[in-house]
Structure 1
Amino acid sequence: MPATSSVALVTGGAAGIGAAAVHRLAASGARVVVVDRDAAGAAAVAQRAGGLAFPADVTDPAALPAAVAAAEDTYGRLDTVLLNAGATSGVPGVEDVDVAAYRRIVGVNLDHVVFGLSAAVPALRRAGGGRVVVTASLAGLVGMPGDALYTATKHAVVGYVRAAGPALAGDGITVAAVCPGFADTALVDGFRDRFGDFPLLAADDVAAAIEQVLARGGPGECWYVQPGRDPAPYGFRGVPSPLGAGAPPDLGTLG
């Protein structure tokens, strides 16, 4: 099939933020590959968007390379990647660490981002550049005591994006993140009643923020998304330098 004008790949695309993002991308004219372990959900979303469903468990190291290959084989290129799949652990994760739950949440929230970016970069280079947005969380910017494991993975994702963004900018590949607050999706089903009248983001609110990041986000930026506020890059404070130090070393040349 000849290359289309724009091709996107979305993980966790069968529902929630991922599905809302798929529909926005399709409305903008993109062909979308919908990746999700929910095969029926992915197929339904892909059908409505006129795209391609790719059932897969994103914790499998082979899943994202295969999904990227399917995007290129079907549409001829890959321009945009949304690494959106995510999970909560459902436990505080301090003294009560369940090894299976720990491995699962690390696999979904962190491993899939690492595997996904690694798989996507060669395809984005072949397309002449592109954009990657990772769905992190406000729990990647502040601690969430009720789920320390989720907090750990999202902090790791934020750090990864902040490092990977500048590293790939020279290739014309922009890597950034969105950090939404609590959103009205399946991730909060287990404790939805605790929110009372606390405002929740709609899935489409986050998808709209993702559109903004795709349009004007900078390398390594992490955009907060909160109800009633315009999304914007989070302003990280700089780390104090050693007293009397000159310019920092170029860490890219060490080792």
Structure 2
Amino acid sequence: MPVDFTGKVALVTGGSNGIGAASARRLASRGVRVVVADVDADQGKAVADEIGGVFVRCDVTVPSDSAEAVALAVREFGGLDIAFLNAGIGTGCSLGDDFDVDVYRRAMAINLDGVVYGAHHALPEVRKRGGQIIATASMAGLMPMPGDPVYGANKAAVVGLVRSLGGAYPDVRVNALCPAFADTNIIVPLRSTLEEIGMPILPVSAVVDTFMSIVEGSGTGEAWFVQAGRSSEPFGFRNPPGPRAADGSRIEAARKDPVSIALEEN
């Protein structure tokens, strides 16, 4: 039976286009009141007006902007149930001769810092309503990304952050959305190469379908992949080896610690 989202409130960063805009539209169609946050005021306002939401200009690299976006959701709609921290950029920057410190810092600021700031400011309000935080990571956070190692590092960090937060806050669900190459502006510089090598490009609707599966689900600390020709589900991480005593036995005291339990070997 479909989940009833009537009256729920969502904040979507990077909500003016691509996955953010499509997710905002899908949430609104299910009765969710949406705050669209983006640096693109014209397009962001257009999306917000279209879905009966509100727009806030939000540069996710500025902590006070994330704080204001959350505060606006509370002022306008009374609280916050879903924080979709989706804003992100590609870099095209390697660590070779083309390495650019400014490009690197901008990518870190948007792709990782923006999620950290957004989660920090959203957590108090989301916890009040037993809500959830979803961050857009990438398949690049689950597998090597030789063509854009800086982007891969950003997204792997987001996956690690989400997995840790999922265990740190039992009253809030925190998950990651990890799409492969989707039909958004971020792949514009790569599109011809992807087409030449026959790499499938995901329709945005497929990514939003998985986003809604996360929203409607019950898990936390999960990283849901979205890959062409595959049914989306949480990626199955193999647990690293946990601590053992000198005789090889498990550390029973450590087993009582949820963090240690999470690190136990299979």
- Pick the structure with greater CA Rg: 2
Q: Deviations over 1:196-222 (max 9, x none)?
A: 242111112111110001111511000
Matches within 5 A, 1:4-23: 5-23=7-25
Give the Cα–Cα distance (whole angstroms) in 2 for the partners of residues 217 and 138 of structure 1: 22
2:241 aligns with: 240
Q: Deviations over 1:10-45 (max 9, x none)?
A: 000000000110000000000100000000111011
Give the Cα–Cα distance (whole angstroms) in 2 for the partners of residues 228 and 251 of structure 1: 36
In structure 2, relative to structure 1, the CA distance for the partners of 1:7 and 1:228 (3 Å cut) is same
1:122 to 78, 100, 124: 124
* Preserved contact between residue 176 and residue 217 of structure 1 (Cα < 8 Å): no
Matches within 5 A, 1:95-174: 95-126=97-128, 128-169=129-170, 171=171, 173-174=172-173
- Percent of counterpart pairs with the same letter? 45
Please report the RMSD computed on the Cα atoms of aligned residues, expressed in angstroms: 1.6
The residue type paired with residue 63 of structure 1 is: D
Give the Cα–Cα distance (whole angstroms) in 1 for the partners of residues 29 and 202 of structure 2: 21
Give the Cα–Cα distance (whole angstroms) in 2 for the partners of residues 59 and 214 of structure 1: 25
Matches within 5 A, 1:41-56: 41-56=43-58
1:195 aligns with: 194
Give the Cα–Cα distance (whole angstroms) in 2 for the partners of residues 141 and 217 of structure 1: 22
The residue type paired with residue 213 of structure 1 is: I
2:220 aligns with: 219
Give the Cα–Cα distance (whole angstroms) in 2 for the partners of residues 195 and 88 of structure 1: 15
Q: Deviations over 1:109-156 (max 9, x none)?
A: 000111001101111123x21011111001001110011100111010
Larger RCO: 1 or 2 (CA < 8 Å, sep 6+): 1
Q: CA deviation at 1:166?
A: 1.2
Q: CA deviation at 1:246?
A: 1.7
Instruction: Say which is worse superposed, 193-202 or 30-39, in terms of deviation.
Output: 193-202
Unaligned runs of 5+ residues in structure 2 are 1-5, 261-266
In structure 2, relative to structure 1, the CA distance for the partners of 1:143 and 1:71 (3 Å cut) is same
Matches within 5 A, 1:21-100: 21-100=23-102
Q: Deviations over 1:169-227 (max 9, x none)?
A: 2x2x1000111111111011011001124211111211111000111151100011012
* Preserved contact between residue 8 and residue 31 of structure 1 (Cα < 8 Å): yes
* Preserved contact between residue 167 and residue 259 of structure 2 (Cα < 8 Å): no
Give the Cα–Cα distance (whole angstroms) in 1 for the partners of residues 66 and 223 of structure 2: 23
Aligned residues: 247
SS in structure 1 opposite 2:26?
helix
2:263 aligns with: none
In structure 2, relative to structure 1, the CA distance for the partners of 1:153 and 1:176 (3 Å cut) is same
Give the Cα–Cα distance (whole angstroms) in 2 for the partners of residues 93 and 38 of structure 1: 30
Instruction: Say which is worse superposed, 194-203 or 87-96, in terms of deviation.
Output: 87-96
The residue type paired with residue 228 of structure 1 is: G
* Preserved contact between residue 93 and residue 147 of structure 1 (Cα < 8 Å): no
SS in structure 2 opposite 1:26?
helix
